[in-house]
Amino acid sequence: MVNFRHPALLIWLLFVNSQLAIAEEAVADSAGEKNVWPLAVAAQSLTEDDYLGEVPKVLTVSRLSQSLADAASAVTVINRETIRASGIVDLPEIFRLVPGFYVGTNAGYVYNTNHTVSYHGMTTAYSGAMQVMINGRSVYSPLFGGVNWSELPLAIADIERIEITRGPNAASYGANSFFGVINIITQNPSDPAGSSVIATHGEERNEVFYRNAGKLNNLNYRVTAGYRQDGGLDNRNDFKRTRMLNAQADYQVNVKNGLEFEFGLADGARGEGNINEDNIVFLPRTKQIDNHYALMRWRHNVSDTSDFSLQAYHSYARSDDQTTSVNILPLLPAFAPFLAVDRLHIKNEVIQKRTDIEAQHTFSVGNNIRTVWGGSIRRDSMYAPYYLASKKTDYFDLQRLFGHVEWRPSEKLTFNTGAMVEHNDFTGTDISPRASINFKPNRNHTFRLGISSALRTPNYLEEKFQDRLLIPMTLPNPLGVNALVVQFRANKGNVNPEQIISRELGYMGKIGRLQLDVRAFSDRINDVIRFDGRTDFTTPVNTFLLNPLLDIEADSANNMGSAAVEGLEWQANWAFSNKTKLMFNHAYVHIRETQPDLKRNFVNSMPRNTISAMVTHRFDKNWDASIAYYQTSETTLLGDGDPVDLIRKCDVRLARRFNGRNWNGEVSAVVENLFNNHYQEFADYNTLERLARVNLRLDF
C-alpha cells in the first residue's frame, strides 16, 4: 500500500496543493478590490448577481437522460442505496438484482479467474455479448470478450448508479452492445466533500479504501486509493490481490465550458491454474496484472438546446503469466530421447491498449425532438505472442458514426429511432439500426414496442487465436522434425459478426407504491459463432503435430446456425412504507437452436428461471437491515462451464450508523449464503460456501 505508485500520487498532491494556493490568492485579490462595505456584511451578503448572474447550465441537453417512460429500451437503474443494501464486495455481484442476468463467481481458468456476467444466455467464462462502460469509457476487452471485473481501477464506494439497458443498443453504443449495455456512472468528483475510510474484513476477504474529495475554486476532485485481498474459493488457486488508485476531477472553465479528467491504476497478483483441469502444463501459479487508464473530456454548452462533447481516453492492460510444466519426458516416452527440454516454459504475456476519441453533439429542435449524433475512432492493440503465435503487435481499428432521434409528437407518444454505422478491421462495414414507439396513456403507464438489431464482432479468441505448445527437439533426426506441436486453436479467421434481431413489448407502470417493469422479448441470433474441430491447418515447418496422438482437437471459430431466445421478465419495486422496500425480479428465458445437432448448443446456456429479491428495512435513524435472495434453475454453461444444479442463495446484512460531531460512521455485518454451505456455481470446480464479513465506513 505505502509504496504504491508514489510518483503518481505525489504529482496529484502537488497539483492539488498548487491549486489551493492559487485559490487563496484569488480570494484575497477579490476581497481587496470589491470590499465596499464592512467585511462582516460583505462575506454574508447576497447580491443581485445571485439572482441575475449567469449560472452554468448544469442539466444540459446531454446530461438530461431520457425519462424511463420515453426510453427506447428496458432500463434498470441500480443506485447507491441498492448497492449498499446488497452488501456486495465484488461489483459484478450486483447484477444478480437485474432481471434476466446471470452472474457466475470465479468463472474460467484461463487468463484470469473472474466473474462472468451475462444476459439471456450464451454464457461463457468471458461472456462477451454485452457492452460495459464506465463514465462513457468502454472496458470491454477484445481478447476473450467481456470484462475483467477484478482489474477495474474502480471502488464500489465511488459508484453513483448503474444503468443497465436490457436489450441490444448498438445504435447508441456500437457493436457488442448485443444483449445489453451496462453503464457505470461514478459520483460527481466532490460529492460529498471530505475524507472516508472504508474497510472490510471477513473470511477470504480484506479490503481497505481511502478517499478524499473536495473543491478548490472551480476544480472538484476525488482521489480513492485502496487495497483488496480476495482469497478466492477453497479448492481453487484463484486469489486476487489488487492495489488501486482512481482520481477524478472536473474543472469549470467558464459557464459554457467544462473539462473532466479521470485517471486510474490497478495492479497486483492473481492466482491462476486449476490442477483439476490441467495437471501437466498450466499448473497453479501466480501471475501479475497491471492496468491503467486516463481520460479527458471537454463539455461545451453551445446553447440552451445544444451541447457538444469531445472525449479521449487511453487504457492499458498487461498480464504477465509465466508457467513451467511438470517433467514431460515420462509422458512422451517415444520422443523422450530427442526432446531438448524436460519441462516447458511458457511465457504468456498479454498487453492490450486502447485509444479512443469520440465527439458527440446533442441538440433539441423545439420541445418535441431531441437528437444526438457523433462519431468515434478507436485503435486497439494486442500483443499476445503465445495466443496469436506471433511476436508482432496486432492492431484493430474501428470507426463509428451514430445518430439517434427522439420525437414526441404528443404527450402520449414517443418515437425513438437511431442507427450506428461502423467499420472495423475484422468484419468490415456494418450497420445497426433500431426503432421503437412508446405509448403513454397517462403519466403512470407506458407501453413500448421496439425492434432493434446489433452485431457482435468476433473477439481475438474467435478470430486470431493460434495458441499451441511447442516442444523443441535437439537431435537432428531422420524425420527432419525440430519441434513437436500441440495445437489448441487454429482459427481460420474471416468470421462474420453474430447478429441479433430483437423484438420486444414492454410495459412500465406505477400503481400506488408499486412500480412495475415487464418485458416480453423475442430475439433471433444469426451467424452464431461456435468452435469446431479442424484438421486442415498447417503447423510451422519441420514440426510434428501431436494432436492426433493425444486426441486433442484444434478448434476454429465459424458461423454456424442460428438461435432463438424468447421469454418474459419483470421487475417490481414496492415501497410498503418509507421504511420497508421490496425489489423483486423474475425472468423466464427459453433458448432454442434452429439447427439441430450442433456441438455446444446454447439451449441450456442460461437458467430457464432466474429470481432475485431484496427486502430492505430501516428500524430507526441508526439501524437498518436487508435480506437478498437469489435463485437460478439448473443450467449447462459454455466455455469452461459445466452443468450445475438449482441454486438458492441468501445474503443478510445488518448495519448501524454512528454520528459524531465531525464524523459519521457505519458498521455493518454481512453473511453470504446464510442457509447454504456448499453449492456449485458456473462449473463444478467452483464450490461456494457460507461467508461472513464486517464492514466499517468512516466519513470525516
Least Å distance, CB 218 to other proteins, is 8
Least Å distance, CB 373 to other proteins, is 18
Q: In whole angstroms, give the CA distance from residue 265 to residue 289.
A: 11
Give the range of 120-128, 186-194, 308-316, 564-572 binding other proteins by CB under 8 A.
Answer: 186-194
Least Å distance, CB 43 to other proteins, is 8
Selected from 24, 192, 324, 337, the binder of other proteins by CB under 8 A is 192
Please, which of residues 226-285 interact with other proteins by CB under 8 A? 252
Give the range of 127-135, 190-198, 331-339, 429-437 binding other proteins by CB under 8 A.
Answer: 190-198
Least Å distance, CB 84 to other proteins, is 13
Told to check if 54 binds other proteins by CB under 8 A, we report yes
Secondary structure of residue 10 in the 3-state scheme:
helix
Told to check if 41 binds other proteins by CB under 8 A, we report yes
Give the range of 183-191, 427-435, 493-501, 522-530 binding other proteins by CB under 8 A.
Answer: 183-191
Binding mask 366-405 for other proteins (x = CB under 8 A): -x--------------------------------------
Closest-CA residue to 217 (of 186, 264, 254, 248): 254
Please, which of residues 619-658 interact with other proteins by CB under 8 A? none
Give the range of 54-62, 272-280, 315-323, 491-499 binding other proteins by CB under 8 A.
Answer: 54-62
Give the range of 68-76, 150-158, 453-461, 650-658 binding other proteins by CB under 8 A.
Answer: 68-76
Distance of CA 441 to the CA centre of its chain: 36
Q: In whole angstroms, give the CA distance from residue 377 to residue 543.
A: 41
Told to check if 541 binds other proteins by CB under 8 A, we report no
Distance of CA 146 to the CA centre of its chain: 7
CB contact set of 526 (below 8 Å; sequence gap of 6+): 498, 499, 500, 501, 562
Q: Is the CB of residue 274 less than 8 Å from the CB of residue 312?
A: no
Give the range of 36-44, 96-104, 448-456, 583-591 binding other proteins by CB under 8 A.
Answer: 36-44
Size of the site for other proteins (CB under 8 A): 49
Told to check if 203 binds other proteins by CB under 8 A, we report no
Told to check if 215 binds other proteins by CB under 8 A, we report yes
Binding mask 564-583 for other proteins (x = CB under 8 A): --------------x-----
Q: Between 408 and 653, whose beta carbon lies closer to other proteins?
A: 408
Selected from 53, 333, 441, 512, the binder of other proteins by CB under 8 A is 53
Told to check if 327 binds other proteins by CB under 8 A, we report no
Annotate 415-448 with DSSP letters as a single string: EEEEEEEEEETTTEEEEEEEEEEEEEEETTEEEE
Give the range of 31-39, 200-208, 275-283, 678-686 binding other proteins by CB under 8 A.
Answer: 31-39
Give the range of 32-40, 262-270, 606-614, 639-647 binding other proteins by CB under 8 A.
Answer: 32-40
Q: In whole angstroms, give the CA distance from residue 462 to residue 493.
A: 8
Least Å distance, CB 216 to other proteins, is 11
Give the range of 40-48, 199-207, 516-524, 639-647 binding other proteins by CB under 8 A.
Answer: 40-48
Selected from 378, 408, 434, 649, the binder of other proteins by CB under 8 A is 408
Kindly tell me the sign of the dihedral angle through the C-alpha atoms of 209, 210, 214, 219. negative
Please, which of residues 458-497 interact with other proteins by CB under 8 A? none
How open is the CA angle 311-312-318, to the nearest 5 degrees? Answer: 140
CB contact set of 530 (below 8 Å; sequence gap of 6+): 557, 558, 560, 561, 598, 599, 600
397-to-170, 378, 381, 434, 658 alpha-carbon distances in Å? 18, 6, 9, 24, 52
Distance of CA 476 to the CA centre of its chain: 51
Q: In whole angstroms, give the CA distance from residue 229 to residue 113.
A: 14
Binding mask 85-124 for other proteins (x = CB under 8 A): ----------------------------------------
Selected from 203, 277, 304, 634, the binder of other proteins by CB under 8 A is 304
Torsion of CA 604, 605, 611, 613, to 10 degrees: 160
Closest-CA residue to 602 (of 167, 129, 130): 129
Closest-CA residue to 384 (of 185, 142, 80, 653): 142
How open is the CA angle 118-121-127, to the nearest 5 degrees? Answer: 40
Told to check if 532 binds other proteins by CB under 8 A, we report no
602-to-77, 123, 452, 455, 525 alpha-carbon distances in Å? 28, 9, 21, 18, 11
Told to check if 37 binds other proteins by CB under 8 A, we report yes
Told to check if 188 binds other proteins by CB under 8 A, we report yes
DSSP type of residue 92: G
Q: Between 64 and 340, whose beta carbon lies closer to other proteins?
A: 64
Residue in the block written with cell 442460428: 562
Selected from 5, 20, 133, 161, the binder of other proteins by CB under 8 A is 161
Q: Is the CB of residue 315 less than 8 Å from the CB of residue 353?
A: yes
Secondary structure of residue 303 in the 3-state scheme:
strand
Told to check if 48 binds other proteins by CB under 8 A, we report yes
How open is the CA angle 521-404-179, to the nearest 5 degrees? Answer: 30
Annotate 211-228 with DSSP letters as a single string: EEEEEETTEEEEEEEEEE
Binding residues for other proteins, per CB under 8 A?
36-38, 41, 44-48, 50-59, 61, 63-70, 79, 160-161, 188, 190-194, 215, 218, 252, 304-305, 364, 367, 408, 411, 443, 578, 664
